[in-house]
Structure 1
Amino acid sequence: MKKCLLPTLTITGFILMSGCTDSISTANKLLQQIQQGQTEIVERNFDPAQITRGRAIFRENCAVCHGPNAEATPNWRKPLENGRYPPPPLDGTAHAWHHSTEELKRFILKGGPPGEGRMPGWEGKLTEQEIEDILVWIKSLWPDEVYDAWYKRIEHRQ
């Protein structure tokens, strides 16, 4: 039973932290699979050098808004005076994992997400390789269960 405790707490945490109905449904299905021992966690095979580069690039360009460890700013769920929300965490505790790699790249390049963000576009400021490095570092922060759900349900739509 102890084996299921951490995944259960992780899944429960991102259910509570998420505002998206689809993610709650996905999280509930994943939680049921974990409790029944029916899911194998996807193994990550990230290049350690890419993670190191991504962390450095993130800290130089993104940390001022998202925090040095992608943890966000305090009260990131509370709207600002203009009605918009502060930058969310990217460490797996918010909804970044609801987006495919291509969507995340587009948000970085063009700014966004549309209708939500004040995030500036980084096109012409960061190279495609730098953006890929940042995204690998961010994904390396996600708990295994979050990465697994993202990989299966978003990135590869199983």
Structure 2
Amino acid sequence: MVVDRIEVYLDGGESPIAVLKEPPYRLKLDTRTLPDGEHVLRVQTHYRGGGMEIREIPFTVNNYPDVLVLGLDEKSEVSGEVELRLAVGEPDLPVERVGVSAWAYVAALVVVLGGIWSYFALSPATEKIIAEVAPPPAQEAQAHGGGQGAVPAGVDPALMEKGKAVYEANCAACHQANGQGLPGAFPPLAGNPNLQDVGHVISVTKNGLQGPITVNGQTYNGVMPGFPQLSDEEVKAVATYIRNSWGNAFGPVE
């Protein structure tokens, strides 16, 4: 499924604190602006064509757990009247916080950001993270037009260009721009012998695929959504493109 936007809410608020529309999907959450205690981050993923997924991530803010005593250092020698200041929860106070190391704050931030990352990495919204992964230069050169040579004989170059546009809009987030897919998650299209069957390619494009499939000795067991919204011409174009890119040369789609 293709992501339309991601809305991030905090503590049951009606308005999102962030709306992410383009990858990489990132935000910074400054916990110093939040009161200590329990909080909930809600991530709503909206998909193109309808559908929404919600995940809530509870977390605890504990920036200032100790009272800061100002005016009296540990083991200091004093005499007479000493004026002390007791401070709690003052973010701009230019003093070292007592009892809490800087690593504790880093760990708290890692917990929050790690929760957001695990949502995208382990849920059906995996593509939001995959979209951030740039292919190595060696693989990038394998993309269509990257030194592969001329379009195979009998294949319409204009149809290839149209298919490339359809692929980039609907397929590249999972199968990658270079057709390499993602090991263990999304099968490669480059060098995929299953693409030789035109009927199989068209059926999977229109109706999707569920269940195990083996490509070059590796088994993938996921769910690929269909794209019934594509016209017959668009299906033909994208099928032509994937069958004749990245070193593939299976010929035209009749």
TM-score (norm 2): 0.33
Alignment coverage as a number of residue pairs: 93
Q: Residue 114 of structure 1: CA displacement?
A: 4.5
Identify which of 163, 166, 172 aligns with 1:54. 163
State the AA in 2 paired with 1:96. N
The aligned counterpart of 2:55 is none
Secondary structure of 2:223 counterpart: coil
Q: Distance in 1 between matches of 2:235 and 2:178?
A: 16
- Matching of residue 90 in structure 1 with residue 199 in structure 2: no
User: Which residue is 2:180 aligned to?
Assistant: 71
Q: Which runs of 5+ in 2 are unaligned?
A: 1-151, 213-220
Aligned with residue 240 of structure 2, among 130, 133, 136: 136
Of the three residues 191, 196, 208, the one matched with 1:111 is 208
Identity, % of aligned positions: 26
Higher percent of residues as helix: 1
Q: Residue 137 of structure 1: CA displacement?
A: 0.9
**TM-score calculated relative to the size of structure 1:** 0.51
What is the deviation of 1:110? 1.0
Distance 1:117 1:44, change over 3 A: farther
Q: Distance in 2 between matches of 1:135 and 1:57?
A: 10
Q: Give the superposition deviation at 1:62.
A: 0.5
The structure with more strand, counted as a fraction of residues: 2
Shift of 1:89: 1.2
RMSD: 2.3
After TM superposition, give the deviation of residue 113 of structure 1 in Å: 5.0
Alignment partner of 2:224: what SS?
Answer: coil
